[in-house]
Amino acid sequence: MLPNSDHDLVPATIPDRLSGLPDVARNLAWSWHREARIVFRSIDERLWHAVRHNPLKFLDQVPQARLDAAAADPYVTGLYDKMMSWFRHEMSGAGTWFSQNWPEQRSTPVAYFCAEFGLHNSVPIYSGGLGVLAGDHCKAASDLGVPLVGVGILYRAGYFDQRINLEGRQQDTDERYDLSLTPITPIAGPGGVPYLATVKTFGRDVHIRAWRLDVGRVPIYLLDTELEENHPDDRPLLSKLYAGGPALRLRQEWLLGVGGVRVLRALGIHPQAWHANEGHAAFMLVERVREYVSGGLAYADAVAKVRAASTFTTHTPVPAGHDQFGPDQVEACAGPVWDDMGITKAEFFEIGHHPVIDHQTFHMTATAIRLSRRVNGVARRHGIVTRELWTSLWPGRPSDQLPIGHVTNGVHLATWMANHIMQVVDRTLGADWGNRIDDPKTWDRMLDADDATLWFAHRSLKDILLNLIREETRRAFVARSLEAPQIVGAGVMLDPNVLTIGFARRFATYKRASLIFSDAERLRKLLTDPHRPVQIVFAGKAHPADNPGKDVLQQVYQFTRDPQFEGRVAFVEDYDMHLAHLLVQGVDLWMNLPKVPMEASGTSGMKAALNGVPQLSTIDGWWEEAYDGTNGWAIGQAGVVDDDAVTADRLYTLLETEVVPRFYERDERGLPLAWLTMMKHAMRIAGRFFTARRMVEEYARDYYIPSMTGAGAADDPPTA
């Protein structure tokens, strides 16, 4: 509950005039609709922010008087009516891109399996980039009318909350969230049993319940094992994301893949295209082979059928990042599934056999590639890296002739672009620009945006970010008795007039968060320049088991409290989608320093670019495709692996000679015209190409439709 809140203990009664609010609150579509975002805020702004934009929590706590006043306020009811007519139109599914292009397939389901979905911070079942990408994929599929059905896991303990202690060490705390204030609905099984499917693992039957989460027109079925009917040891199997060791992880993946297919069958959903997003979902393919064999097909024919309908997307450019499990574990978890597949145990292990590394382990990526005809990486460079990584599966072939493609990632524009910036786009492109976003010429006109309008929109977003940082720090000061250096390190001395660099992402070592501190004196000069100072805001979590990542975080944290930087370096705790929004919208420059070629794509820079925030990055992932000299800065050369010292030196030089001078060069109105031009180019390029809409269009056209219709090149399966 809120401190000092005037919260009524009984939830308020929704006035008739606003009777649609609960329905809207139960479908995440509200989160990417402009009017809907404002409706809740205008009913009770303080509460809306305090509940971190969770509309169910909001409706649970909003005082009756506020609702009644809103129902009588023409401004709110006007927004509400706009929202409701959009909501009804959205749900009708009329005239979508997909149904216009493929009317025959418009009701043929596409199953999309992923171990995490990042849709909104009020549904904490994601940890980072992979989940947010999957969430953006579902939202764009809803917009386009792609008949997608998601399958994932309901992690009841959420992802961990991050607190940094005085020593700068990350403390991970579980916070179980309230399912009744989460927009999910449990689905009962046949005869009223609470589960829909049963999967045998480690010698026991595990019953699986599914909850439905609505994302616009796309339902996501979230699996859950916390049931009385399950053995007490099995109930928490799916409670935590990426927790525990490989044995638990394996069982989660087994339940997701096998249980997910069975849940779809129990619901009468029979997809003709199946998409495994990352290797965690590969057992979905195994289960479908088993189904075909049980139905009477020979094993080889079953594999051919499964391949024909399946797409596999890999996200991991480094061999060590791929899941693989020991044979004993796999046997205990999955055995004796081979009997049902018409093969021997040895043949089963062949499916997951990696041709180069250890003969013994069961490799999830190898499994997914063997059982999917369509395989892709997530950026052009990552496609090349992936083909090189997997040449061993097609022995004797040059890597550029492997049947592995790429679909460059994109982000969901309506989720990530701030309303303030959308207003600038309205003024520049015309209010109906939403209907013309597939035309590249639309985005070229972003260059005509009015300088002052764009600058003031950006400045208000920066104020919102710095206000949030101050308010969160104030709350933490009260709740946890922070000491002065911690308060400085949390960012209360940040100045809205100063060039602000954002760096927020998972603290994996290859992302090199501490690189900018490698020459502390050179950095100090930049940050504390009396005329043209710079400040940096960091955020991000380290994986609970990643001690080197925690070390980097600790290093960065210690710099935030170092007086030589004069309070110009901040670390904001608890990076989630909410904070991600404010950061990508509110900083001046987005910085990204992955070690090439470790970043498969990267997406936070795309979110920043959509908001007119240019990026400074090493040339890796999406930046190799996006950078053209107008929309930000690049360090190094495409495809060249650099060492840290060289990258750091180039980074400082760019900041000193180009970035800082351009930001502080102002015209007589105080506008940084050259910087604004770069902001417009960032929007032009991101809007044109780096959206989830463009990405899902590619998946639909080149992957899902060929799966459904059998069109496309002949199957070219691995030979090893």
Ligand X SMILES: *Cc1c(COP(=O)(O)O)cnc(C)c1O
> For binding to ligand X (CB under 6 A), which residues are involved?
128-129, 132, 505, 575-577, 580, 602-604, 607
Distance of CA 38 to the CA centre of its chain: 23
Give the residue with the Cβ less far from ligand X, 60 or 576.
576
Q: Which 3 state secondary structure label does DSSP give 209?
A: strand
Give the residue with the Cβ less far from ligand X, 33 or 541.
541
* Shortest Cβ 30–ligand X spacing (Å): 18
* Shortest Cβ 213–ligand X spacing (Å): 18
* Shortest Cβ 601–ligand X spacing (Å): 7
Give the residue with the Cβ less far from ligand X, 504 or 527.
504
**What whole-number distance in Å separates Cα of residue 278 and Cα of residue 222?**
17
Give the residue with the Cβ less far from ligand X, 127 or 252.
127
Residue pair 354/361 in contact by the 8 Å Cβ criterion? yes
Give the residue with the Cβ less far from ligand X, 54 or 361.
54
* Shortest Cβ 602–ligand X spacing (Å): 4
* Shortest Cβ 137–ligand X spacing (Å): 13
Residue pair 492/561 in contact by the 8 Å Cβ criterion? no
Half-sphere exposure (Cβ direction) of 588: Cα atoms closer than 13 Å: 24
Amino acid at 706: P
Give the residue with the Cβ less far from ligand X, 129 or 259.
129
* Shortest Cβ 512–ligand X spacing (Å): 12
What does the buried/exposed string (b/e) look like for 603-639 if buried means 16 or more CB atoms within 10 Å of the residue's CB?
bbbbbbbbbbbbbbbbbbbbbbbbbeeebbbbbbeee
* Shortest Cβ 576–ligand X spacing (Å): 6
Going by their DSSP bridges, the two strands 324-325 and 362-363 should be labelled as antiparallel
C-alpha Rg value of the chain to the nearest Å: 25
Give the residue with the Cβ less far from ligand X, 58 or 159.
159
Give one DSSP letter per residue of 121-145, joined into a string: TTS----SHHHHHHHHHHHHHHHHT
Give the residue with the Cβ less far from ligand X, 322 or 374.
322
3-state secondary structure 159-203: CCEEEECCCCCEEEECCCCCHHHCCEEEECCHHHCCCCEEEEECC
Structure tokens at 198: 């049963």
- Sorted by sequence, the CB contacts under 8 Å of residue 481 that are 6+ apart come out as none
* Shortest Cβ 376–ligand X spacing (Å): 17
* Shortest Cβ 604–ligand X spacing (Å): 3
**What whole-number distance in Å separates Cα of residue 99 and Cα of residue 107?**
9
Give the residue with the Cβ less far from ligand X, 594 or 612.
594
Residue pair 349/327 in contact by the 8 Å Cβ criterion? yes
Give the residue with the Cβ less far from ligand X, 242 or 362.
242
CA triple 570-572-574, angle to 5 deg: 160
- Sorted by sequence, the CB contacts under 8 Å of residue 475 that are 6+ apart come out as none
Structure tokens at 423: 């207003």
Amino acid at 506: R
**Which residue shows structure tokens 């303990």?**
157
**Which residue shows structure tokens 């997307």?**
313
* Shortest Cβ 253–ligand X spacing (Å): 21
